[in-house]
Structure 1
Amino acid sequence: MTDAYEFEGLPLGSIRPGTTVLVVGPSHAGTRHLSFRMLSGPPDEGSILVSTNQRAGRIADDWARSGFRLDEDRAAILDCVGDDDQSVPAQVLPVSGPSDLTGIGMRYSDVYRTFRESGVDRVRTGLFSVSTLLSFGDLKTVSRFVHTLVGRIDAVDGVGVFSIDPGMHDDQTVSTITQFCSARIDVRETESGQELRTRGIPDQPREWQSFDVQTE
């Protein structure tokens, strides 16, 4: 049996391989930092991040500040915005835009194949964010894409971390996307800091818990 995925420095229990978690929260530093931290695994794991609304250079900087050491052997960014910065310390695969869901899927297959060929079998996949995809496409089309990507993550015993901003959508839209994911983490900002609450993660407390958003 494949070992569960761990999340160092976060109040989260381990997650079984094949799980995709939807992170539901406003687009502030706490939500992004949590998502980056969840994608930041040990050196023997790879990470693929689909960036729908920020350039690869900015994504790489934010990701590194979350404590992850990026390198081309285990980090890849599918850039739907466009970034010609050659200094990004990760594989950068351009996609024509957030509406090109077929292109995203093809690039994902390409980089996953590259990881497997180099001996990286455990892969964490991030999609930042579903909200941007919904601003370029209808719910039915985006839902189909999310469902497909969740299935691919499950098939290879990976883990997925998808983000969505509930302030940009009605409750039904968020609920629909949630149905395709195995688990959900809600994020909120309080006077004392950031808090998260989980659903669908075994042995995980369901009440609100604080988490650290300090970056390096």
Structure 2
Amino acid sequence: MYSIDTDFPVDSIPSGTNLLITGPPMTGKYDLLVELLADSYRYDERAVFITTQKSPDQIHADFAAGLGVDSVTDLGIVDCAGRERSGNHADDEHIRSVSSPADLTGIGMASSELIETFGDRGHRVRTGLSSLSQLLMYADVKTVFRFLHILTGRISSADGLGLCTLDSDVHDDQTVNTVKQLFDGAIETRNEGDDSRAFRVLGLPDADDRWIDF
């Protein structure tokens, strides 16, 4: 089980679970993803973050801010933006660069290497991807489905925890429903008005579907 310190309707999530974080744009999906992955540092686990937009430096800063610390170490990052390595983490051995979000083979290989590296060191691994909507801009839904089938399968077989974000309002219902098939459950997000946001969890054992502010 993966323990969750974030305000959540359950205290833990079964190993091998993959969850889809879905909702309209600007409803806090990325922030929630970082919170759930950052909880790994409280339990001697490791996290692998697949980013299609934000830089490794920004992700490190967001993790540190969420944990209330100056910096974090041993954070696996697959940077899909094709940018040159620079900044505070230019020489970090746990960062892999991929040419673009279109290189799904490269993303899969890089993430698998990091998951295996941390697993060989005796750590359980939480893996996050932000975002599937970016991948769907570069490849059709069938291609992304095949990539996700392999990624979620690897996470499940390694007794990991997988979390992926998707902007639900950007895609048609058929695309969203196709992607959902590969996940064990979902976390839905929405804006509540007055700058507040909420989420609910669907599909997890013992979790009710109440909306929780965050």
TM-score (norm 2): 0.89
Give the structure 1 partner of residue 132 of structure 2. 130
The 5 A counterparts of 1:70-109 are 71-73=72-74, 75-81=75-81, 82-88=83-89, 91-109=94-112
Q: Residue 127 of structure 2 contacts residue 163 of structure 2 at CA under 8 Å; is this kept in 1? A: yes
Structure-2 change in CA distance of 1:50 and 1:98 (3 Å): same
Q: Secondary structure at the match of 2:13?
A: coil
Q: Do the aligned partners of residues 63 and 80 (structure 1) sit closer, same or farther apart at CA in structure 2, a change above 3 Å counting?
A: same
- Contact between 1:57 and 1:83, CA under 8 Å: does it hold in 2? no
Q: What per-residue deviation string (whole Å, max 9, x for no partner) do you get for residues 170-210 of structure 1?
A: 11111111111001011001125111111111111112222
Q: Offset at 1:29? A: 6.4
Q: Give the 3-state SS of the residue equivalent to 1:66 in structure 2.
A: helix
Unaligned runs of 5+ in 2: none
SS of the residue corresponding to residue 107 of structure 2 reads helix
Cα RMSD (Å): 1.9
State the aligned residue count. Answer: 206
Correspondence for 2:114: 111
Look up the match of 1:214.
none
Specify the alignment match of 1:56 in structure 2: 56
Structure 1 segments of 4 or more deviating over 6 A? none
* Paired residues of 2:27 and 2:189 also in contact (CA < 8 A): no
SS at match of 1:164: strand
> Which stretch shifts more, 81-90 or 14-23?
81-90
Residues 1:18 and 2:35 aligned together: no
Q: 1:139 to 1:7 in 2, by over 3 A?
A: same
Q: Against the structure 1 CA distance between its residues 129 and 168, is the aligned structure 2 distance closer, same or farther, given a 3 Å change threshold? A: same
Cα distance change on mapping 1:27 and 1:92 into 2, 3 Å: farther
Query: What residue identity is the alignment partner of 1:198?
Result: V
Cross-structure match for 1:209: 212
How big is the shift at 1:43? 4.5
CA deviation after TM superposition for structure 1 residue 12, in Å = 3.3
Q: 1:26–1:165: 8 Å Cα contact kept in structure 2?
A: yes
